[in-house]
Amino acid sequence: MKKATLIEYGVPIDADVMVHPPDTDEFQLEPGHPGLGDEAYIQRRRELFALCRKHRLENLGPPIIEYTPEETRIWREVSPKLDELHQKFACSMYLEAKQALNITREEIPQLRHLSERLQRETNMHLVPAEGALPYRIFYEYIAQRGFPVTQFIRHGSHPEFTPEPDMIHDCLGHVPPLMNQDYAELLTLIGKAVATATDGEHVLNLKRFSWFSIEFGLLEEHGEVKIFGAGILSSFGEIPYSVQSPEVRREPFVTDVVINTDYDPSRMQDHLFIAPSFVFLRRELEALVKRLGIPVL
């Protein structure tokens, strides 16, 4: 990959960005994680880490997990609150997909079953992920129509908060939109383009395109602004903030602006873009990939 000085999250990065975070078989909670010091939680996370890593590396698909009463308690606390917000603020495609996938407030869904349903609907599938994967590996799965998802749940002391993507973020944020064909093709193309790009600046352009759509995208629907980004839909605070707060700058999704806009993932997002449709995003991405000369189409 061509070396370039790039700025991501306001911090200079080098072209080795695609190999971060490191691929490791050692489980560790990051500093400041609310589960640090809770031995039972750490032990459970270690077990799920080993199981999901094995299933991922051996291509076994998501394992069936027997969730503990504490994990189910957290799900039952978080999921109804998010669902109420979704009913008000999420785009209709997301709401229909969540219902079609039978994701309920009561039971933690099994990723294996969700994956089977997605496969039938849009030919996407879920890949069990032990945690955050190196970018290169993450996007290579997406290029193969697989979305890496975690199977662990956040720590019960702060059900509204997780410092890392967990299965609430993945299941309630990323999985439902995979039922939409245009969204599925958009995502797959992002994966193919990032996995194929040889220029660090192109990778950064694509990551920003993805951030402001897949993670933090807004959609115009019948004259209203609705949410489809997974990072917003899995956060109590970001949902109303993104569409109601006067502090947030919302502007139409213009690709040239989006790919030159930096973001800080550690804060609430105060600059968002509104897309007119998933077909629009898909066409914009196709045009961008062509313009960058990435040979994937």
Cβ nearer to Fe ion, comparing 58 with 266: 266
Residue 169 a catalytic site member: yes
209-268 residues near Fe ion, rule: CB under 5 A: 230
Tokens 């395109």 appear where?
Answer: 209
- As measured in angstroms, the least distance from the Cβ of 93 to Fe ion is 17
Q: Which of 8, 130, 215, 238 is catalytic?
A: 215
- As measured in angstroms, the least distance from the Cβ of 169 to Fe ion is 6
> Residue 263 — φ and ψ, nearest 5°?
-145, 160
Cβ nearer to Fe ion, comparing 35 with 148: 148
- As measured in angstroms, the least distance from the Cβ of 231 to Fe ion is 6
Tokens of 22: 């490191």
Segments in the chain forming alpha helices (H): 39-57, 69-89, 92-100, 111-122, 135-143, 167-169, 181-196, 200-210, 230-233, 238-244, 255-258, 278-292
Strand partners, 126: 147
CA 291, CA 72: separation in Å to the nearest integer? 47
Cβ nearer to Fe ion, comparing 65 with 233: 233
Residue 234 a catalytic site member: yes
Cβ nearer to Fe ion, comparing 6 with 230: 230
- Long-range contacts from 169-173, C-beta under 8 angstroms, 24+ separation: 169/230, 169/231, 169/234, 170/230, 170/234, 171/103, 171/108, 171/109, 171/111, 171/114, 172/79, 172/82, 172/86, 172/98, 172/103, 172/233, 172/234, 173/229, 173/230, 173/231, 173/232, 173/233, 173/234
Contact 166, 131 (CB under 8 A): no
Q: Which of 169, 185, 242, 284 is catalytic?
A: 169
Tokens of 138: 């993450």
Contact 236, 268 (CB under 8 A): no
Q: Which of 79, 115, 213, 234 is catalytic?
A: 234
Question: What number of chain residues touch Fe ion (CB under 5 A)?
Answer: 1
- As measured in angstroms, the least distance from the Cβ of 215 to Fe ion is 5
Cβ nearer to Fe ion, comparing 58 with 175: 175
Q: Which residue is nearest to Fe ion (CB)?
A: 230
CA 295, CA 188: separation in Å to the nearest integer? 14
Contact 74, 156 (CB under 8 A): yes
Residue 213 a catalytic site member: no
- As measured in angstroms, the least distance from the Cβ of 18 to Fe ion is 17
Contact 219, 90 (CB under 8 A): no
Cβ nearer to Fe ion, comparing 70 with 278: 278
Residue 222 a catalytic site member: no
- As measured in angstroms, the least distance from the Cβ of 170 to Fe ion is 7
Q: Which of 174, 185, 210, 242 is catalytic?
A: 174
Active site residues: 169, 174, 215, 234
Which parts of this chain interact with Fe ion (CB under 5 A)? 230
